[in-house]
Amino acid sequence: MTLVMAPTAIVYIYLSYTQPDNLLIIIACVMIEQFCYGFGFTAYMLFMMYFASDAGAGNKHQASHYAICTGLMALSMMIPGLLAGIMQKHLGYHHFFIWVLICSIIPLIAVSLLKIDPQYGRKKI
């Protein structure tokens, strides 16, 4: 699911270089980006649910752990958003989205290091 996030940067690299006038191409690119983002975001939400439920055996503070994870997620989106405009101004659109694509390697590495129970989410018989 993390690999699906890479096309979001590729779509914007394409748009920054071609700057199409055709509204259908722009709509298609935004649809691809939104689908990929939603797919990756869902994976992140599932990981937060897993982390909150796995934070302790018989965890009675599961909702609190999930709320803290959600707050950290919002913060992790807000801080880069604050810096994105400054970076884009210095790098330009073409290089900014290339930088975003390069940065997308970090989540791939992070996900490869996660240890998730393969039985998580499966119905216990």
Residue 32 lies in a domain: yes
For the ranges 16-30, 86-100, 105-119, the lowest mean pLDDT is seen at: 105-119
- Whether residue 118 lies inside any domain: the answer is no
| 122 belongs to a structural domain | no
Q: Which amino acid is at 17?
A: Y
pTM (predicted TM-score) = 0.73
User: How many domains does the structure of the chain reveal?
Assistant: 1
- The per-residue pLDDT for 32 is 92
- Evaluate if residue 57 carries a pLDDT over 60: no
Domain membership of residue 25 as a residue range = 3-112
**Rounded to a whole number, what is the largest CA-CA distance in the chain?**
57
Of these ranges, 13-22, 54-63, 74-83, the one predicted with the greatest mean pLDDT is: 13-22
How many CB atoms are closer than 10 A to CB 44?
17
Range 23-32 contact pairs with CB under 8 angstroms and sequence separation of 24 or more: 32/7, 32/8
- Asked if residue 72 belongs to a domain, the reply is yes
